[in-house]
Amino acid sequence: MRIDIITVLPELMQSPFNASILNRAKEKGLVEVHFHNLRDYSSGTYKQVDDYQFGGGAGMVLMIEPIDKCISKLKAERDYDEVLYMTPDGDTFNQGMANELSLQTNLIILCGHYKGVDQRVRDLFVTREISIGDYVLSGGELAAAVVSDAVIRLLPGVLNDETSALTDTFQDNLLAPPVYTRPSSYKGMEVPKILLSGDFPKIEKWREDQALERTEQKRPDLLK
Ligand code: 6GU
């Protein structure tokens, strides 16, 4: 998979991709992530990428021209499956979307900023608009990092134990069951006996029951 991220703040984006699982995915050659600084595509003397909105009102809007130049250059180099636009008024991101996106080959992610982008960018280029929840971030960069992380960890070979993504919370619309590690007894708190029994069919059943119970208690909306 290849992800091209278009942003006015490339420096904000580097570190999440250089650590842990995302870095391992890159090193294994399973994903390439490229950052494109929108200012490099500005034709203005001051590398301007935003301007006041027509009709008046507070807040700057990202201009269409630099975005057009950047996206057109990328599209001339390869075919893209999706152009994602990160925006608080997009569809709320979830595990199902992460699964879908993980099946794609080439993605562009455009990060919104200030008051957003000129509407014509959305009309012309964007195939999917994504929000990561009902709150406002200063820009789409952190949201793009969140979406990329959720997608990249699903690529085959990224996780050590490939089955571990299958048992994630949300993967069957269920929360994950509780987990324990050593010691089996800590300050009088015991690990459930069943987990120490070695009876794997019974353990599996217990985990399923716990997942269901936890989901009923904490997220009954998932069961509808
Ligand atoms: Cl994708 N962008 C911004 N700026 N704020 C957000 C968001 C995205 N998702 C939730 N809040």
Q: Is 135 in the pocket of ligand 1 (CB under 6 A)?
A: yes
Residues 20-50 pLDDT 10s: 889 999 999 999 999 999 999 999 889 999 9
Q: Is 86 in the pocket of ligand 1 (CB under 6 A)?
A: yes
Residue pair 64/118 in contact by the 8 Å Cβ criterion: yes
Question: What is residue 113's predicted lDDT score, i.e. its pLDDT?
Answer: 86
Atom of ligand 1 nearest to the CA of 143: 1
Number of H helices, E strands in the chain: 7, 9
Q: How far is the CA of 143 from the centre of ligand 1 (A)?
A: 6
Residue pair 23/17 in contact by the 8 Å Cβ criterion: yes
Average pLDDT, the chain: 95
SS3 state at 103: coil
* Mutation test residue for ligand 1: of 12, 134, 136, the one with most atoms within 8 Å of CB: 136
What is this structure's pTM? 0.94
Is pLDDT of 161 > 90? Answer: no
Question: What is residue 67's predicted lDDT score, i.e. its pLDDT?
Answer: 98
Residues 110-131 pLDDT 10s: 999 878 999 999 999 999 999 9
